[in-house]
Amino acid sequence: MSDPQWIFENQFYLDNGQWLSIRERMLQVGVPAVSVAYVGDNQTLWRAAYFLPEPGMGQAIYPDTPFQAASLSKPHAAIGVQVLFAQDGLDLSSPVIAHTSWTPPCRSCATLDWSADVTVLETLQHKGGFIGRGNTYPLDACANFTPDGGGFAGYENTPGVQLPTLAEILAGAPPANSPPIELTVPPGTFHYSGMGYVVMMRMMEDMTDTPFDDWMRENVLLPMGMSGSTYALGPPDWLPAAADGQVSLMQSIPGLRNLYPESAAAGLYTTAGDLCQTVIMLNSKGTVGGRQILSTAQATAMLEQQIGIFTAGNPDDKGYIFDHLGENYGFTAYMCGYPNQQAGWAAMVNLNNAGDFCTEVSNALIRAYSIDTTRS
């Protein structure tokens, strides 16, 4: 039987009856580079980077090249909140305002009492009532919202561009390019909200009296074996050169990588191999590399209650899956795990809106490794 990785790389996509390799497909659809890592038997079996080596096609990419993880920042921030609350013996069902000096503002047509009702758990589940996808615009509304919102555009990494402080992001004050973070709907209804994760970032900094990126590196990333990862605003010198974000083949974004001071929502730099540490940890009910990051109860709840992560199927289904997609300007990232098959993978692409290509990566791995996707 052929090696599954060989099948993945060389029979990646069937085009009019002809198998295309992953690089042939990348050239066909204009993907400059992708980093992939695969988990089998709850260990990372391989890490690989694929890029187009033709002259002028872009930079060389390696398995340890950091990419922007975009919204994959959120499940890691959710892990951080759970680690912090376990350290302090606190309950995720407690109100957000019990743990921060910041009080969530309400829109003029909203009920002030909501701010006392929002829990940490609801916020991590995108149910806190904070502005988000489908409950942000118009900015003076509390109903009849447009379907957009929930994310952050980032800030061009070029001279003269001013970055907002966390306080300015929360207030929606210049130079922030996002609206005020406020409550617009009652807690309990799902609206995908990166803004809610900025609230979690403020809460964690209040609780720890430590910058978010420093606390996360020492208490989450390093203990999980994610040494090639950081929430620092720009990749520090001790990391390899990061991938350049691109809007199309051979067209990098201005400044190469936007800056995201909304770190908990969109600011993580990482590798596909490091993301697989998270896959292994959640597959293994909280343990990775011999370390208990989350308790069994916490890890189970993270999946079953969709705390910063999304699931499909029932927990006893063979094809039960958790996953998350992330998109920043010039970057797309995806990770997933199949706990009942001790499998999973991560893919990171330095291209705008490359979710379809990430789906092709998943389909090729599912076929190469005979992953059972049966769900009830």
**pLDDT tens string 195-227:** 999 999 999 999 999 999 999 999 999 999 999
pLDDT score at 57: 66
Question: Per the domain annotation, does 220 fall within a domain?
Answer: no
Q: Across the chain, what does the average pLDDT equal? A: 96
* Rounded Cα distance, 74 and 306, in Å: 12
Do 230 and 213 contact (CB within 8 A), yes or no?
Answer: yes
Question: Per the domain annotation, does 290 fall within a domain?
Answer: yes
Whether residues 233 and 361 fall in one domain: yes
pLDDT score at 189: 95
Whether residues 241 and 290 fall in one domain: yes
Question: Per the domain annotation, does 218 fall within a domain?
Answer: no
Question: Is residue 58 predicted with pLDDT exceeding 80?
Answer: no
pLDDT score at 1: 52
pLDDT score at 339: 99
* Rounded Cα distance, 133 and 121, in Å: 18
Which pTM does this prediction carry? 0.97
Whether residues 187 and 235 fall in one domain: no
CATH code (residue 306): 3.40.710.10
Question: Is residue 78 predicted with pLDDT exceeding 80?
Answer: yes
* Rounded Cα distance, 254 and 288, in Å: 38
- Chain segment 333-343, per-residue pLDDT in tens: 999 999 999 99
What DSSP assignment string belongs to 270-324?
E-HHHHHHHHHHHHTTTEETTEESS-HHHHHHHHHTTSSSEEES-TTSTT-EEEE
Question: Is residue 41 predicted with pLDDT exceeding 70?
Answer: yes
- Chain segment 133-168, per-residue pLDDT in tens: 999 999 999 889 999 999 999 999 999 999 999 999
Whether residues 195 and 264 fall in one domain: no
* Rounded Cα distance, 295 and 81, in Å: 13
DSSP SS3 for 178: coil
pLDDT score at 110: 84
Question: Per the domain annotation, does 373 fall within a domain?
Answer: no
Amino acid (1-letter code) at residue 331: F
Amino acid (1-letter code) at residue 261: P
Whether residues 158 and 277 fall in one domain: no
CA distances from 129 to 104, 105, 134, 191, 355 (A): 10, 11, 11, 7, 27
Question: Per the domain annotation, does 375 fall within a domain?
Answer: no
Whether residues 235 and 360 fall in one domain: yes
Helix or strand (DSSP H, E) at 266? helix 263-266
Residues 244-253: what's their mean pLDDT? 92
Whether residues 36 and 93 fall in one domain: no
* Rounded Cα distance, 45 and 335, in Å: 15
Whether residues 83 and 65 fall in one domain: no
Whether residues 138 and 179 fall in one domain: yes
- Chain segment 68-77, per-residue pLDDT in tens: 999 999 999 9
Domain-ending residue, one of 153, 180, 208: 208
CA distances from 169 to 95, 107, 158 (A): 21, 16, 20
Q: What is the CA radius of gyration of the chain?
A: 20
Query: What does the DSSP 8-state code read for residue 374?
Result: -
Contacts of 301 (CB under 8 A, 6+ apart): 307
Whether residues 90 and 21 fall in one domain: no
Number of folded domains that form the chain: 2
Categorize the per-residue pLDDT at 371 as very low, low, confident or very high, splitting at 50, 70 and 90: very high
Backbone angles phi, psi at 299, to 5 degrees: -65, -40
Question: Is residue 55 predicted with pLDDT exceeding 70?
Answer: no
CB 76: neighbour CB atoms within 10 A?
Answer: 25
Domain region containing 190:
75-208
* Rounded Cα distance, 46 and 369, in Å: 13
Question: Per the domain annotation, does 242 fall within a domain?
Answer: yes
Question: Per the domain annotation, does 66 fall within a domain?
Answer: yes
Whether residues 112 and 180 fall in one domain: yes
Whether residues 62 and 89 fall in one domain: no
